[in-house]
Structure formats: structure tokens, C-alpha cells
Chains A and B, each alone.
Chain A
Amino acid sequence: MSKKTETKTEETEEQVSGGKMLFSMGTIGIIAGVLIVFTFTFTMPYIKANEAAFLEESIFDVVPGAYTKKVVTLDENNTIIPVTNPDEVAFKLYSCYDKQDSLVGIAIEAREQGFQDVIKIIYGYSPEKQAVVGMKVLQSTETPGLGDKIETDKDFQENFKHLDVSLNEDKSALKELIVLVKNGKKTKKSQISAITGATISSKAITKMMSRSTALNVPVIYKNLDILKKK
């Protein structure tokens, strides 16, 4: 059986027309397309459910002491309003409360282009400490062994246990923006110490955090009274 096929292909090798090549590649392209689209539509609900569960878990990870959460968003006047259908809103904040229903922190999502693809993170902000109190990578395809250390490196994670984002006197902006410094050169609480060998990934995390905190922290502060009411 196998020998027969071999000789057959060798014989016809010279006679294949361009049209046949195009036809066979096109057909296989269509088969491939159908298979991928079918799998995509079939698995999407499961993937969505998994992602939602992971996000939920991550929110409680980045805001220590959180027991319940509420999804909120901002209206045109930068005022916090509650969200009824989270799927319809692009920008979301998750305000977290402890067992006594008092506000312990706000979890905020951020994203930025990394070394390979977009990195998505979530971080927790504590209005009481005026600091970032936790960070978790939600999605990344950084280089294994180098860039993916943003998820696993203990020293790097230590940066986000208490990252200072205090506001200035009139509470309109941050006193100091979050900046990246070389590994071991960290002197202030608003600095992130980079991972050696993963500069681009460290930079991406710093950039998204710096931008997101500068934008959101003053707004959160302004709306603190609304957020405190559960």
C-alpha cells in the first residue's frame, strides 16, 4: 500500500498545474478555518467562565482583607456609579469590603504592550494607606524564564506590597509618579525595582501602573464617600 502511493506521487510530480495547487491549498485553508471557528464558538463560554472565576479570585488576592466586592464604573463627570451588567461596561473598578462592610481597597485593571503581546494586570489600591497593596498578572505571554518573572519573581512582587501613590496637597494629582529603577537601586516607596534580564516586561508593568494610578487615584479619592457606602 505504502509503496504504491510513493510511486504515484513521484510520477505526477511534474504534471501538477498551478490551479490544482491553489485549489488544494484553498480547500485545506477552508477546512482549517471551519475547524478553528467551530472550536472557538464551542469553547468560548467555558473560557469566559474560567476567566471570570480567575478575575474574581485575583481581585481578592490583590486587596488583602477583602470579603465582598462591588463592580463600579465612572460616568462623564468622573463620578462613581454602580454597574448592573458588568459585560456592557468597558472600564470597571472593583471596590472591596471586609466583613464589617467597610471599604478596604479598590481593585483596578490595567494593560500595556509587553515584549510579545499585551500584558494585563490587576492591582489593589488602599485609600487608607494611600498605596498600591497588591498586583497580579492576569494575562501575559512574556518570554518563559525571563519576562514571565513578572509573575513569579518574589523580589519584584515585593514592590507591590506597599507602593506609595500619595496625593499632593490639593488632592488633584499624585505627589510622585511611579518610576522604574534598576534592581537594588530602590530608595523610595514610589519606585519599582526592575528584574534583571526582563527590562521590557518590568517597564511595561511600571508604565501601565504609573499611568493608571495617576489617572484613577485622584478620581477614587474624590469619590471616596460614595465608595465607602456599600
Chain B
Amino acid sequence: MPETKNTTPENMEIFLKGVWKDNPVFVMLLGMCPVLAVTNSVINAIVMGVATTAVLILSNFLVSSLRNFIPKQVRIATYILIIATFVTVADYAIKAVSLEVHKSLGAFISLIVVNCIILGRAESFASKNSVGKSVLDALGMGAGFTIAVLALGIVREVLGNGTFLGYSLFGEHFQPLVIMILPGGAFFVLGAYLLFFNWLKERKEKQASIETSAI
């Protein structure tokens, strides 16, 4: 493998693109349904993030390895079938590991099928790139998604319930902001994060323009 050395920075870039530059939640605003609905506790966020990442990796892997075999006309139908298969697999796996977590995530596990991040990556990346790159892209996107739901989950559970992973943080006199674990809280927290990320982006752009004008 003489190529490896040359492609390492490129591969790193594919991975980091999903985590930071093209973060599916904070930048592309994809898959809002699970992001808003199941981030009411840290454990739900972790399970949702891991399940989505697993489905992403497996479906990207299969779509990419079959990319020359699937005719273009029927690609969407086959992608959906592939994704639905892995979601069913993930559903059984979660049930086998913990029934309680499965119950608290409820219908949202099956709804991973229609998470637009997964179909989006299959269509725009895995169907055009090699297996290795597609898995890497899925890893990056999955990590980005997991980080995002975790970022929401931590804020919501700590403020809304006064706990972290079920452990009480502030003692019994803490009055939790119940709104944070209710659906409304999800919008507040997501809005605050988006505000922060857009502020970061704007500041970066400003600095870049100052630098170029200075040159």
C-alpha cells in the first residue's frame, strides 16, 4: 500500500468534515427529529447517537460495495431497503441489550430509517466513493451526530433534571428547570447552540477577510 501516505491527510479530512466542518446537526441541520425528541437525557442521546452511527456505517459500507451493481433507476428503493434492514438489526440489538432504553426511545429507533443524514450520505457519498472512504465518511458523520445529540442531552438533563446519567449533581435543594426536558427545551438548547456556532463562523469569516485585506 504505497498510496496510504499520500491519502492519509485526505482521509482525515473526510472524517473531520463530518465531525466539525459539515456537522450534520449544527451545520447541515439534518435529522432534526431525533435531535429534538430524544435528547431529554444523556443515556437516550448516547444510545441514539451510537445506533445512528452504526446504521450509518453499515449502510454506507453496503451501498458503497454494491455501488456498481445497483442500477441508477432503482437506487433510492434499494438504499431505503438497506437502511431499513440495518435499523431493524439495531432495533433488535438494543432490545437485547436493554429493554428499558428501548422503551424510553420508543418509536424513534424505527424512525432512524427516515433520518435524512443516512439516506443523504448513501446518495451523495457512498454511491460515488470507495468502501474505505465511505466507512470513514460514515464514522465522521456519525461522530458529529453523536457529539451534537450528546451536547444537547447533557445540557437538557443537567438543567432539566439536575442529574447526569441519572446521578444527582446538585443535591436535593436544586429546583430543576423542567422546561428543559420538555419538547420546548430542545428548541431552546438547539437554538442556543446554533447561535454559538454561527457566531463562531461569522467571527472566523471576519478574521479571514481582515487578513486578506491586510495582505
Task: For residue B63, give the distance in angstroms from its CB to the closest CB of chain A.
Answer: 10
* A13-B72, A144-B106 given; A39·B92 CB < 8 A: yes
Task: For residue B22, give the distance in angstroms from its CB to the closest CB of chain A.
Answer: 17
Tell me, yes or no, whether B95 is within 8 Å of chain A by CB: yes
Tell me, yes or no, whether A25 is within 8 Å of chain B by CB: yes
Measured CA separation A2–B86 after assembly (Å):
25
Measured CA separation A53–B107 after assembly (Å):
22
Q: Which residues of B contact A35 (CB under 8 A)?
A: 85-86, 89
Tell me, yes or no, whether A28 is within 8 Å of chain B by CB: yes
Cβ contact of A141, chosen from B37, B99, B107, cutoff 8 A: B107
Say whether B129 contacts A2, CB under 8 Å. yes
Say whether A32 contacts B129, CB under 8 Å. no
Q: Which residue of A lies closest to B89 (CB)?
A: A39
* A1-B129, A8-B68, A148-B106 given; A36·B73 CB < 8 A: no
Interface-located stretch among A43-51, A153-161, A182-190: A43-51
* A43-B92, A144-B37 given; A28·B67 CB < 8 A: no
Measured CA separation A148–B108 after assembly (Å):
13
**Size bin of chain A's contact surface:** 35 or more
Task: For residue A48, give the distance in angstroms from its CB to the closest CB of chain B.
Answer: 9
Which residues of B, 115-145, contact A by the 8 Å Cβ criterion? 128-130, 133
Tell me, yes or no, whether A54 is within 8 Å of chain B by CB: yes
Tell me, yes or no, whether A21 is within 8 Å of chain B by CB: yes
> What 1/0 mask marks residues of chain A from 18 to 35 whose CB sits below 8 Å from any chain B CB?
001100110111011001
Tell me, yes or no, whether B69 is within 8 Å of chain A by CB: yes
Tell me, yes or no, whether B171 is within 8 Å of chain A by CB: no
Task: For residue A40, give the distance in angstroms from its CB to the closest CB of chain B.
Answer: 6
Measured CA separation A39–B69 after assembly (Å):
25
Say whether B95 contacts A36, CB under 8 Å. no
Q: Which residues of B contact A53 (CB under 8 A)?
A: 99
Q: Which residues of B contact A141 (CB under 8 A)?
A: 106-107
> What 1/0 mask marks residues of chain B from 80 to 107 whose CB sits below 8 Å from any chain A CB?
0110111011001101111110000011
Task: For residue A32, give the distance in angstroms from its CB to the closest CB of chain B.
Answer: 4
Q: Which residues of B contact A116 (CB under 8 A)?
A: 107
> What 1/0 mask marks residues of chain B from 34 to 69 whose CB sits below 8 Å from any chain A CB?
000100000000000000000000000010001111
Tell me, yes or no, whether A5 is within 8 Å of chain B by CB: yes
Q: Which residues of A contact B73 (CB under 8 A)?
A: 13, 16, 21
> What 1/0 mask marks residues of chain A from 136 to 154 whose CB sits below 8 Å from any chain B CB?
0000010111001000000
Measured CA separation A145–B99 after assembly (Å):
20
- Chain A facing B: main interface SS: helix
Task: For residue A132, give the distance in angstroms from its CB to the closest CB of chain B.
Answer: 22
Q: Which residues of A contact B128 (CB under 8 A)?
A: 2, 5-6
Cβ contact of A21, chosen from B37, B66, B74, B96, cutoff 8 A: B74
Tell me, yes or no, whether B70 is within 8 Å of chain A by CB: yes
Say whether B93 contacts A43, CB under 8 Å. yes
Measured CA separation A141–B129 after assembly (Å):
38
Task: For residue B32, give the distance in angstroms from its CB to the closest CB of chain A.
Answer: 14
Q: Which residues of B contact A40 (CB under 8 A)?
A: 92
Measured CA separation A34–B73 after assembly (Å):
24
Say whether B72 contacts A28, CB under 8 Å. no
Measured CA separation A35–B93 after assembly (Å):
12
Measured CA separation A24–B183 after assembly (Å):
42
Tell me, yes or no, whether B175 is within 8 Å of chain A by CB: no
* A1-B129, A28-B78, A36-B89 given; A54·B99 CB < 8 A: yes
Which residues of B, 148-174, contact A by the 8 Å Cβ criterion? none
Tell me, yes or no, whether B77 is within 8 Å of chain A by CB: yes
Measured CA separation A25–B84 after assembly (Å):
14
Sampled A-B contacts (19; CB under 8 Å): A1-B130, A12-B71, A13-B73, A24-B69, A24-B71, A27-B69, A32-B85, A35-B86, A36-B85, A36-B88, A43-B92, A43-B96, A53-B99, A54-B99, A116-B107, A144-B37, A144-B106, A144-B108, A145-B183
